[in-house]
Structures are given as C-alpha cells and as structure tokens.
Structure 1
C-alpha cells in the first residue's frame, strides 16, 4: 500500500452498514486489529524490563528513565483526539495504516539511537505515530461488530494488548540478555512490517463518519494546550509556575470550545452522555493508579533483588498473563450482563492486588509479588473490556474514532499522571543520580507511589458507580 492511497478511496470498499459484512471480513478485522493491539504495549513493557541496561549504556539518571516513557505519552496524548477526528472524516483504516508505517520507521530509528537525547526524541515521534493507531483500532472493531457481539470482539483486542504486555517483560528480557536493548526496537520494526502486510491483505473495508469540516484553529489550540498541560504535569514541583499557566491555557481552550459556532470536539455533547463521561473518568483514574507498577517492580527486582532482566520478566509475567486470559471472558460477559458491575469489581480487585506493595521491603517474598500482580492483572481485565464496550456502545457510529480517541486520551493521560507521580516522587525522595546508591530512598518512594495509586482507585470506583446512576443522556 503506497502512502498516496491512505487518503484516497484506494482499494477499499466503503461499508456504512456492518450487517452487510461477511464473516470472513469481520474475522479479518479482528485478526488484524489484534496484531496491531499487540505491538505498542509489547514495546512499552519490554523497554521497562530493559531500562537498567539502557541506563548503563546511555548514562541515564532516574529522571531520564521516566522520560523514555513520558516522551512517548506526551505526543500520543496531545494528538490522539485530533487523529480520531480526522479518521472519522478521511477513513479509519487509512489513518490506522499510516500510523503503522510511521511507527515502523521510528522503531528502526530508535534501534539506531546514538545517545539518550536521540532516543527520548524518537520515542516522542513513536508516540505521535501511535496516536493514529490508538484512535482507530477500537473504532474499526466497533464499526465492524454490532452491539451484542462487540464486547467479545473488544475483549479479544484487549487480550492482544495484554499478550503484548505478557510477552514484553519475558521476551524483552530474553532479547536484552542475549543481544542488547536495541534488539527490542529491531523486533518492533519487524513486527510492524508484518502488521502493515496484514492491513494491506486483510482490511479491504473502510468506515468514516458524515462529511464535516474541522475547526483547525481550535484543533491546534487543543494540541498546544494539551501538550503543555501534560509536559508541565510531568513534574509539578519542578514546573511550579508552568503548570498553573498550562491549566489556565487549557481552561481558555475549553471556554472557546463551548462558545464556538463550529466546535472542534463539541464538549456539550461529550459531557451530556453520562455513560461516556464517567466511563472515561474511571479509565483515567484506573490507568493513573496502575501504569507505573511495571517500571517500579522492574527496578526493584533488578536493583534490590539482583535479578537479571530475563528473570525479572518471568516474575512480572503473572500480571499481563491474567489480563490476557480474562479480557475476552470479561468482554463477552459485558455483552450479556451489567458492564458497570464488572468494571467496579475489576477496580476493587486491582486495588486488592496493589495493597501488599504498600509494605514492600528488600525481603518482600517473590511469591507474594507474583500473586499480587496476578490480582492486579485480573482486575484490570475485568475493568478494561467492559468499560470500553460501554463507551463505544454509547456512541453514534459516525463518532467512533473520536470517541475511541477520547477514551485513548483518558488512558494515556492516566498513564502520564502515573509517570508524573513517579517522576515527582523520585525527584523529591531520590536525589541520587544512581539508583543503586539510593536504594533505601527508592523503597520510600515506592510506598508513597502505591498509597497515591490506591487513593486514585477510590476515585475510579466513584466514577464507575456514577456512570450507572441516573439517565444515560444523549449519544454523540
């Protein structure tokens, strides 16, 4: 598929009614989106396990380590909603395809990075490419599958995400141990090429919303204000003056959006849909409570326990494995039962898994680490698939990419907040440039971060209850 085809009708059939699709077309959609859903979480989790080796070769400080994730999240957070809006207009498969072409190129460049600044910048570009994928993958599934079968399809996609998280620590550890951390990005490049091939071969269908004009002035204002807000939020202590200014600027964007005759996002419709609003809020707080746990435990196992990257990956295996195992089950249950009850149960189970880490010490048993992570994994599975099904089922089909983009933004902003909390706590409690020399302060930081995470999960439970109370409101 050449780039010129990505923004033309090209080889695609344009489907407006999912019932006209043949089963083989639906199967092609789910297999391709599963392959795509696997890759990004694989890279994220593999990098976490390789972080000590990257730090050694490129002389990373603890702050630099967090920036390898933050740089990715910065660009993806700022761009995922605009990419969703554009995908609804120009075609979801085309934007999805373009995202993978760019992601593959930036993966190759990451493998060739000469220093830490290059690697951090290239991760930023990877995040920009991933925003095109995040905003369209679930939208494509929701376009192809009807309500009543959508949850199961979303569950399989979520299972692929967690398969990436499952294999990331293990395979990332194997690659790092036997080759170097750069092999993770070479592997990502090869997998990206395989996904591009699957898109070209399998996805002959296209979906888009009704023709509309984009308010580009408001869109670029949104991108700039969101970027500044997320950047300043990475360390609110260090950016004590910039963060309030960024909040003020983003508030200005919201006011302009509400007053605009032709808004970019139409926030009034967003907030009037109760299920959409509170499902997104619960996603934000759930991910903000859980995202950094992999990085923290990877550092703990390698710096405190003295485990290799490969062994650490095996210990961390239980969390994503349980996510992968239960996501299709939870998705299917959400088609047949109360999805809100499932999401609340998932949040509570996640919290139960995090509690033991508030008491972590150098002698913390490995078996308890595995059991606790398993609880977090199962809880995340019972939260994610039903919550996503609720969000997408509350939308008008013409807004699937935009809605998927909003949900992805909430997830990525939650992940960004998680890394911001970690970065800020490290900044305040871990002044040492070398983590090995500041291991006692690391444990202090770990406990503080877990306590904050548990508080965030309490808010997630509140949001999960709110979305099922009262009237649903209109759809987008």
Structure 2
C-alpha cells in the first residue's frame, strides 16, 4: 500500500500535468490555425475565435468554480474538469465544422477553469507550509513548460499527423490523470453546500468579465469601448452585491481586510499586464522588421519561458526560507530592467541583445511568480484555498487580455488598419519602443505594489 508521501507525490504529478495542459491547449493551437483555416475555409475573425474561445471561457468560469470547489469539494471539481477536458479533446479532434470546434473549445475552457481553480488549492492543502513554496514553484514551472513546449510540439504534431493530433494526444493522459486523482486525492472534508452558492453574484461576475475581456481585446472599435465600459460598470455592481451577500462567490473582504492577499493579486495582475504581450510584439518585430521565419522566431522567443521555468523552480524553494515579498519585488525589478532594455530596440538590434533581454525578463518573471503565488495561497485559511487559487488565475488571465489589448490599441494608433509593410516599419518600431517603455513603467509601479503587501504571514 502506498505511503502518505507517495500519495502526495502522485497528486503533485497529477496537478502539475493539468498545469501543463491548460497553457498547452491555449498556445499549441496557434501553430495549427493556418491548417484549420484551409480545411474549414475560415476568415481571420472566425479563426481568432478558435484560439480566444478557450481563454475567454476559462477566465469567466474561474472564480465561480473556485467557490464551488470550496463548497462541494476540490477533488470533485478537479476530477470533473479533467473528464471534461479529456472528452472535449476527443471532440475537438473529431470536429466537422468551425462552429463545432469553437463550441467544444468553449466547453473545454470550462473544464480548464475547473482544473486551474482547484489544482493549486489541492497541493496547498496537502503539503505543509515549509514545502509549499517548493511544490508551487514546480507547479508554476509546469505552466511555463506548457508555454515553451506548445509551439514546438504543436508544429511537430501538425506537420506529422495534422492539427487534430494536438487534441488526440492528450486523451490517454487525461484518462490516466482522472483515475490517479480519483484513487489518490483524499476528500478534503467539504460538505455538499450547493444551496449556499451565490448564483446572482456569479451571473453578474461572468457577464462583467465577458464584456470587459472581449471588449478590451477588440479596442479601439466603438462597440468594444462600449463593451469595456459596460464590463467596468458590471464589476462595480458585482462588488456592491458581494459586499451585502452572506455567502459571496468572491470574498471581497479578503481584498479589504487581507493586505497580503490584496497586494499579491494586484502585483500578479500588473505583472501579467506588463509582460504577456512581449512575445506577441517581438514575434511581429522579428518577422516583419528582421525578416526571420516563424520557426526561427519561435526558437529565439523560447529563451524567455525556458529561463522562467528554471528560475520558478528555484524561487519556489527560496520562498519557503525567505520572505516572498522580497523575492517577488526583486523579480519585478529585474523585469523592469529587461523591459527597459527592449525599449531601446531598433531595426538594427542584434539577436544577441534580444536573447539577453529575454533571458533577463525570464529570470525576473520566474523569481516573481512562484513566491508571489506562495504569498497568495499562504495568506488565506484552508476554507478559502479554492477561491484564492481561482482569484490569482483570474488575475493572470485578465492581465494577459489587458496586455494584448493595450498592444493592439497602440499598434492601431501608430499604423491604423494598414498591414506592416516596409513603409510602416519606422512607425511600427517607434510603437514597439513606446509599448516596452509603458510596460516598464507599469512594472515599476508593480514593484511598490509588491512591497506594500507587508511581511510574510506566520
């Protein structure tokens, strides 16, 4: 019979795999989009929804499922999420139309939200505080591994067996993870209290996030501006409703009364808002300005997530011994340095300089993320682990969408609806410099948000 340690190790592997799968599913499909477009004769707008649908539905459902996990049991929600992702992976591979593929991707995003909302909560619950940073560092590293592997594996699978193989290859792994989770994850003692679930608050929250994220991703279109404003208004209404709710879907009091929780989440949001679009911007710069192929671009850009993955594992262990606030703040400061380096790029910037800048960014982000996650998860009691896990996941996803939205807005302001032709290169390079400068300023503010959280909880 397996020992408790072996059970914990198997559970860690299960959670780490799901942390790898979620970014893999959101990123690997990007490489296959041209093949999907040819098969279904899709335009660019429809094609973008194949990628966006997963990210959007994941972010919308994260907080509600985090609360449901605290009410119904994290094991139950985690296993259901794996089952949904496994079934939808099979259905995505069997899709016969773009409508079916997008619809199944939306459901797959819901499964991904169930997995992400519970994974960190499960390992935080079963591992003692002196090991928490280490395992959360491993978990964060798995996210970066998924981001690193996705473009290469997605291209390899698409070239050998077609785009459908990206989804088929995950099915047997999901079956194994579901079985292992059912056997080795112990119930967390949560009672079935569905009647306490805040349906009104959840509905308002989901509408608010949908409007805000979709609207921001389509800026500066007039309808997108209206949607974004509507989303902000709905969020304010949501906060008002939650403050007067006996069992809210999101514990607003955690932000009001728990300084570490509030400023750690704010730091995470600022960090993702200032860094996620870096790969998107540099991908355009390298291919349009430097004339590099997509394959060479991917190989250059992979330097950042690889360094992230290595540093996140080290930083997670360090956060068990040292104050996460200090580690995270140092990491954010290093990111500022990397972004400032990139703000000086030109048409003649060397590949060596770009790689060094990306390595600096990767080191800073890895040093920031694991301790910051440890800080969030260690700042709440066990009854709130699900909502804490979901909240930091929401900060990640909304920050990513805001980052892309800001990049899209700036590009539109500098070159409008035009394609990036040689005549537009000077304007585009100026836009890129300004974007990196703005991101550096955001991260500089984030350093103070990180320091403001206060000392580590006892």
Q: What SS does the aligned partner of 2:23 have?
A: helix
Equivalent of residue 185 in structure 1, options 136, 151, 167: 167
Aligned pair in 2 of structure 1 residues 262, 200: CA closer, same or farther (>3 Å)? closer
Q: What SS does the aligned partner of 1:450 have?
A: helix
Equivalent of residue 169 in structure 1, options 151, 160, 163: 151
Q: Counterparts of 1:366-405 in structure 2 under 5 Å?
A: 366-405=351-390
Q: Which residue in the other structure is 1:18 paired with?
A: none
Q: Which residue in the other structure is 2:271 paired with?
A: 286
CA RMSD of aligned residues (A): 3.0
CA contact (8 A) 1:215 1:264 kept: yes
> What is the TM-score of this pair, normalised by structure 2?
0.88
Equivalent of residue 467 in structure 1, options 440, 453, 456: 453
Equivalent of residue 447 in structure 1, options 430, 433, 437: 433
1:197 deviation in Å? 4.4
Q: Give the distance between the partners of 1:460 and 1:68, measured in 2 at CA.
A: 32
Q: Which residue in the other structure is 2:220 paired with?
A: 237
CA contact (8 A) 1:100 1:133 kept: yes
Q: Which residue in the other structure is 1:138 paired with?
A: 120
Equivalent of residue 151 in structure 1, options 133, 144, 148: 133
1:262 deviation in Å? 3.9
Q: Which moved more, 1:187-196 or 1:369-378?
A: 187-196
CA contact (8 A) 1:41 1:161 kept: yes
1:114 deviation in Å? 6.0
> What is the TM-score of this pair, normalised by structure 1?
0.85
1:371 deviation in Å? 1.8
CA contact (8 A) 1:66 1:419 kept: no
Q: Give the distance between the partners of 1:343 and 1:38, measured in 2 at CA.
A: 22
Q: Which residue in the other structure is 2:5 paired with?
A: 23
Q: Which residue in the other structure is 2:107 paired with?
A: 125
Aligned pair in 2 of structure 1 residues 175, 311: CA closer, same or farther (>3 Å)? farther
Q: Give the distance between the partners of 2:46 and 2:343, measured in 1 at CA.
A: 25
1:433 deviation in Å? 6.9
Q: Give the distance between the partners of 1:355 and 1:48, measured in 2 at CA.
A: 28
1:305 deviation in Å? 4.2
CA contact (8 A) 1:351 1:457 kept: yes
CA contact (8 A) 1:173 1:309 kept: no
CA contact (8 A) 1:173 1:310 kept: no
Q: Which residue in the other structure is 2:178 paired with?
A: 196
1:31 deviation in Å? 1.3
Q: Give the distance between the partners of 1:42 and 1:332, measured in 2 at CA.
A: 25
Equivalent of residue 320 in structure 1, options 287, 305, 315: 305
Q: Give the distance between the partners of 2:161 and 2:103, measured in 1 at CA.
A: 23
Q: Give the distance between the partners of 1:187 and 1:295, measured in 2 at CA.
A: 26
Q: Which residue in the other structure is 1:106 paired with?
A: 88
Q: Give the distance between the partners of 2:153 and 2:179, measured in 1 at CA.
A: 23
CA contact (8 A) 2:144 2:305 kept: yes
1:254 deviation in Å? 1.2
CA contact (8 A) 1:218 1:253 kept: yes
Q: Give the distance between the partners of 1:66 and 1:449, measured in 2 at CA.
A: 23
1:310 deviation in Å? 3.5
Q: Higher relative CO (CA 8 A, sep ≥ 6), structure 1 or 2?
A: 1
Equivalent of residue 73 in structure 1, options 49, 52, 55: 55
1:327 deviation in Å? 1.4
Q: Deviations over 1:177-222 (max 9, x none)?
A: 5554444333344543443344345x34122546641122222222
Q: Which moved more, 1:183-192 or 1:154-163?
A: 183-192
Q: Which residue in the other structure is 2:71 paired with?
A: 89
Q: Deviations over 1:31-90 (max 9, x none)?
A: 1111111112223333445566666775554x6676555433322222101101111121
Q: Deviations over 1:264-297 (max 9, x none)?
A: 3231243200000000000001011111222333
Q: Which residue in the other structure is 1:414 paired with?
A: 399
Q: What SS does the aligned partner of 2:128 have?
A: coil
Q: Number of aligned residue pairs: give it.
A: 451
Aligned pair in 2 of structure 1 residues 255, 32: CA closer, same or farther (>3 Å)? same
Q: What SS does the aligned partner of 1:136 have?
A: helix
CA contact (8 A) 2:254 2:262 kept: no
Q: Give the distance between the partners of 1:301 and 1:175, measured in 2 at CA.
A: 24
Where structure 1 has 5 or more consecutive residues not aligned to the other structure, the ranges are 1-20
Matched, 1:42 2:28: no
